[in-house]
Structure 1
């Protein structure tokens, strides 16, 4: 076996490996790096030779990393990231000219709240940059952040216990009770009416108890959940024309249309707010590009808060 030397590898090979780990596709990696598929395949061959491992195997049309590739990725991804930060600290980051790729993880709820305004503002301020949005649930978010699949995440009621990550509160969204405008229960939503109504629960995994259930259990009460769905945007259309009711954070107000015929009222009991947080690796704190992106997210959060106030005023809530 030939003894390994850093002379056998260059930074471009490591960058190719890092992109392959994220994209799991030679075609997409070539597009991301601005190179030909042939060049990426050749680089993968060199990587396999250097590390003496297959690194990726094809399963159901997707490139799956081997155990050694996953182990290497933890070191290589973080090292490349820290190199870029070290270089960027000595350069002036300009969003109007950067071609940098930003990656953010959003849950179904925070996508409704943030995504339209985030993409609109991002594309105006950084026209040459790109933004990748990845669906993120709390159980998976930490892994996505550690693997650099995303560089930050915006989640509701996040409870991540990781000392290397910063959890920055963006807003607190009050819970509201919603349903079809033809549902007579909404003319005077009392606790009794709430408890006797059929409920639609929105849960990312379809299993976890909702905030309302936990609150009612503490009061010695319970509600009848007849269906559980994972997506907030579907809820108004599921409830339309029925007596189903649901509770959700008021960020959903920004996505409601007149066609959904959804009415909103305050819940008949006190429910905790949905705390929206921005989560990122503390190693990114001094990265000027990342700092700009964080500030952009905070700006969008404030903009959405003002828009919600307008919706509340229009609905006279």
Structure 2
């Protein structure tokens, strides 16, 4: 006989018969009829080829085989019940969980400082590793739990994923103080007359900006192309180059580098920044906790 041939409900009846000692007592304990218990016992007897319980003046007495099965069956059922009843929890104050989050370098600028500040107070043992969403098979890595969350403009993450909107990004022109574009409003003529630095961030919403400007017939004099945003503020602060960037990045550059920005003269659509997680981890307490931290810190 193999385990696949055994109805788990029969083992539950067997365990209760051992505890109760009578068919009627087992029926009451399990909220079943006496015929249902008797039928289950008959099936067990046929399955195991043993009487299992014999009637006596003291109730149903277990046979040697039933006594031999008593402890392992009881232990297995208790372990299974404990597992099914156990609700996983996540204690951020005690956890040493290492989270991996996919985002761009501009995402790191916006998300990581506030996030790490919050974790220092709420989850001092938790660590975070950021991963470039273009450097891995993001959907596969998230489905396997190797990346916990992804944040950004990621329309390719649709099926199998949950998402939560955090905020929208609009685009502006970023430049140094005193630049020819340093005024309340700039025209397309001003924009086309300037020299530009472009961040070639493949796989992000920023790459789409270049496509839209080209499709709109906008003529830019591009003097410099860089693969990331890390040095952009330093470059703009020391040159006459102009960059098309998101408002949140420009606002940070204005605060820490003294740069200026103005609304973009071209009607670029706003992009939506979302938080993504795989459906397999929708109810995972640790994943839920980290998602809630993002929502609390960054949701509009």
Q: Would you call these one fold, judging by a TM-score over 0.5?
A: yes
Asked whether the 8 Å contact 2:174–2:260 carries over to 1, the reply is yes
Match of 1:279 in 2: 276
Distance of aligned partners of 1:128 and 1:241 in 2 relative to their CA distance in 1, 3 Å threshold? closer
Where 2:239 maps in the other structure, the secondary structure is coil
Distance of aligned partners of 1:220 and 1:89 in 2 relative to their CA distance in 1, 3 Å threshold? farther
Where 2:277 maps in the other structure, the secondary structure is strand
Match of 1:101 in 2: 98
Asked whether the 8 Å contact 1:95–1:125 carries over to 2, the reply is yes
User: Which stretches in structure 1 are left out of the alignment for 5+ residues?
Assistant: 1-85, 306-317
Asked whether the 8 Å contact 2:198–2:224 carries over to 1, the reply is yes
Match of 1:220 in 2: 217
Aligned equivalent of 1:171, options 167, 174, 182: 167
Aligned equivalent of 1:124, options 111, 116, 121: 121
The 2-side partners of 1:281 and 1:208 are apart by 21
The 1-side partners of 2:156 and 2:85 are apart by 28
Aligned equivalent of 2:146, options 136, 144, 149: 149
Match of 2:235 in 1: 238
User: Which stretches in structure 2 are left out of the alignment for 5+ residues?
Assistant: 1-82
Match of 1:68 in 2: none
Where 1:186 maps in the other structure, the secondary structure is coil
Asked whether the 8 Å contact 2:106–2:249 carries over to 1, the reply is yes
Q: CA RMSD in A?
A: 2.8
The 2-side partners of 1:208 and 1:268 are apart by 18
Asked whether the 8 Å contact 1:213–1:223 carries over to 2, the reply is no
Aligned equivalent of 2:194, options 190, 193, 197: 197
The 2-side partners of 1:275 and 1:231 are apart by 20
- Equivalent residues in 2 for 1:5-44, closer than 5 Å: none
Where 1:92 maps in the other structure, the secondary structure is coil
1:231 Cα deviation after fit: 2.1
The 2-side partners of 1:283 and 1:207 are apart by 25
Distance of aligned partners of 1:249 and 1:208 in 2 relative to their CA distance in 1, 3 Å threshold? closer
Larger Rg: 2
1:132 Cα deviation after fit: 2.3
Where 1:204 maps in the other structure, the secondary structure is coil
For the pair 1:134 / 2:131, whether they are aligned, the reply is yes
The 1-side partners of 2:248 and 2:240 are apart by 22
The 1-side partners of 2:228 and 2:134 are apart by 12
Deviation string, structure 1 residues 138-176 (Cα, Å, up to 9, x no partner): 874324323433111112x21215522223221101111
Deviation string, structure 1 residues 56-99 (Cα, Å, up to 9, x no partner): xxxxxxxxxxxxxxxxxxxxxxxxxxxxxx88961332222223
The 2-side partners of 1:251 and 1:283 are apart by 32
Distance of aligned partners of 1:289 and 1:204 in 2 relative to their CA distance in 1, 3 Å threshold? same
Deviation string, structure 1 residues 225-244 (Cα, Å, up to 9, x no partner): 22211222311211223221
1:291 Cα deviation after fit: 0.7
For the pair 1:184 / 2:180, whether they are aligned, the reply is yes
1:183 Cα deviation after fit: 1.2
Asked whether the 8 Å contact 1:211–1:271 carries over to 2, the reply is no
The alignment of Structure 1 onto Structure 2 pairs a total of residues equal to 217
Distance of aligned partners of 1:245 and 1:206 in 2 relative to their CA distance in 1, 3 Å threshold? farther
Where 1:278 maps in the other structure, the secondary structure is strand
Q: TM-score, normalised by structure 1?
A: 0.61
